Amino acid sequence: MNPFPSPTIDTRLGFHYFPDALHYRDKDLQTWLPELKSLGASWLTLAATPQRAIPEFFLNGIISAGIEPIVHIFTPLKIAMQAEALRPLLRSYARWGIHYIALFDRPNLRAAWEPASWSQTDLIERFLDIFLPLAAIIVQEGMYPVFPPLEPGGDFWDTAFLRAALRAIRRRGFSQVQNSIVLGTYAWSYNRPLDWGAGGPEKWPEVRPYYTPAGNQDQIGFNIFEWYQTIAQAEFERPVPILLLRAGSRPGDHLDSSYPATSLEAHAERNLAISQLLKGVSGQPPLSSHILACNFWLLAADPGTPHFSQAWFQSYPNSLPVVNTFRRWRAAAATPSKGLEKPAPPESNLTGHPISHYLLLPPSGARDPELNLDAIAPYIQIFKPTVGFSLEEASLAARVTVINGQISYPDKELEKLRAQGCIVERIGSTGTDLATLA
């Protein structure tokens, strides 16, 4: 996708670093660079603020390791800001070797705006009044502006917002921005199949903003990039490079009730499948070359923060099963003679947890009459957990699945498990609930 820069050795795989701008010490760099390389990352999204730059030494370390940073500056639309006030910061980033700058986050959400601003007319024109002067400075400084990722669906339907915005950029004559712009997309797969929405609007012509007829599929899934590319092609009369941000599934995702919630196993398998699609598998060609990178959500987060349960690494060096799944895949790719016909089952490497998965049954006094061995047998057969009734034994497990969690065990007891580093999930006790998960 010349002239858009990419790493010398480009896997097109990457991650979102921490979801805040607080982890840019030398110690952080030494900790996370080896992990990023072991996972095959060649791209990294870094959260930043307009008040302070990410340290130069940190960016130099990332770039020297062959990883392309995407600096996402979270500039609230609620706060008025003069474009020129940001120029010194942007100039510094350009001097330090940054190529891609994303500004703002999900401007199609009501929460991104002051209530009075949201309710006024011409929302997109007012957004572009803010965005375009900043994007022009990014281009003038020799970098590439990333059109901010939109909330899939959203309060203002994302595909309608994008179409109107791109049309207005062209109408306003911002040709330099138009020629340099990169589309940011939040390519969450949620708990839907990875082929959800594949083919875009050409395959699903009945889908309209705010309306997805029964039996149809929309853009709210991993293939959102096909829908956005169709819009960009129509408005700019050429393909536009795309960054898949916050890509993949997250543990516990349950957007679509037609499918089971995303278990840790499904989280590992689905994200691995995305990586394989990006490279091309089973004789299929790789995903579009217009996709610059696919950055998974989320490398790490601090305990007690909203995104902690979604982080691949939890209280480093503890990690979700997806980490070992990726490492095995990378190792197999490096030794093709051994190969892997099927990804090996994900394992946990949560240090201090000798048990991988514990199915915690209710104690005898709280047991549901519907719960019996016949009901849980399919679940045990597929997930192969250690089964028992002991909270003490459960504390030795990386992952604890609790049947009838709130009924049989008080929240404070389950919080003790979480405090010991266990990932705790609750499921119902009926045979139907268990069969759905299995």
Contact 222, 152 (CB under 8 A): no
pLDDT for residue 331 is more than 90: no
For 7, 112, 300, 302, the CA distances from 306, given in Å and listed in that order, are 32, 18, 12, 9
143-157, 159-173, 180-194, 394-408: which range is least confident on average?
A: 394-408
pLDDT of residue 374: 63
Q: What is the mean pLDDT of residues 131-157?
A: 97
Which residues have CB under 8 Å from 294's CB, separation 6+? Answer: 12, 13, 14, 187, 244, 247, 248, 274, 275, 278
pLDDT for residue 421 is more than 50: yes
Q: CA Rg, the chain, in Å?
A: 23
pLDDT for residue 101 is more than 50: yes
For 1, 106, 109, 229, 362, the CA distances from 242, given in Å and listed in that order, are 10, 16, 21, 8, 48
pLDDT of residue 41: 97
pLDDT for residue 437 is more than 50: no
Instruction: Spell out a b/e string for 248-283, using b for 16 or more CB atoms within 10 Å of the CB, else e.
Output: bbbbebebeeebebbbbbbbbbbbbbbbbbbeeeee
In this prediction, residue 344 has a pLDDT band, given cuts at 50, 70 and 90, of very low
pLDDT for residue 300 is more than 60: yes
For 157, 204, 232, 242, 298, the CA distances from 239, given in Å and listed in that order, are 22, 20, 6, 9, 28
Percent of the chain surpassing pLDDT 90: 69
* Structure-model confidence comparison of residues 281 and 94, the more confident one: 94
In this prediction, residue 282 has a pLDDT band, given cuts at 50, 70 and 90, of low
In this prediction, residue 415 has a pLDDT band, given cuts at 50, 70 and 90, of confident
pLDDT of residue 377: 73
d(CA 429, CA 336): 44
Domain extents for the chain?
A: 13-334, 355-437
pLDDT for residue 396 is more than 90: no
First-to-last C-alpha distance (Å) of the chain = 43
84-88, 174-178, 284-288, 345-349: which range is least confident on average?
A: 345-349
Q: What is the value of pTM for the model shown?
A: 0.78
Contact 390, 366 (CB under 8 A): no
Question: Which residue has tokens 């330090």?
Answer: 96
d(CA 282, CA 208): 34
Q: Of 308, 332, 330, 328, give the one whose Cα is nearest residue 318.
A: 308
Q: What is the mean pLDDT of residues 2-28?
A: 94
For 115, 131, 334, 419, the CA distances from 295, given in Å and listed in that order, are 32, 23, 21, 29
d(CA 38, CA 383): 27
d(CA 305, CA 347): 25
pLDDT of residue 341: 40
Output the DSSP codes for 347-384.
Answer: ----TT--EEEEEEPPPGGG--TT--HHHHHHHHHHH-
Chain-centre distance for alpha carbon 147: 17
pLDDT of residue 150: 98
pLDDT of residue 172: 96
Tell me the pLDDT tens digit for each residue of 215-239.
999 999 999 999 999 999 999 999 9
pLDDT of residue 339: 39
In this prediction, residue 401 has a pLDDT band, given cuts at 50, 70 and 90, of confident
**3-state secondary structure (DSSP) of residue 6:** coil
d(CA 405, CA 427): 7
pLDDT of residue 235: 97
Q: Write down the CATH superfamily of domain 13-334.
A: Glycosidases (3.20.20.80)
In this prediction, residue 428 has a pLDDT band, given cuts at 50, 70 and 90, of low
Tell me the pLDDT tens digit for each residue of 65-100.
999 999 999 988 876 667 899 999 999 999 999 999
The tokens for 164 are 């109107």
Which residues have CB under 8 Å from 334's CB, separation 6+? Answer: none
Provide the mean pLDDT of the chain. 88
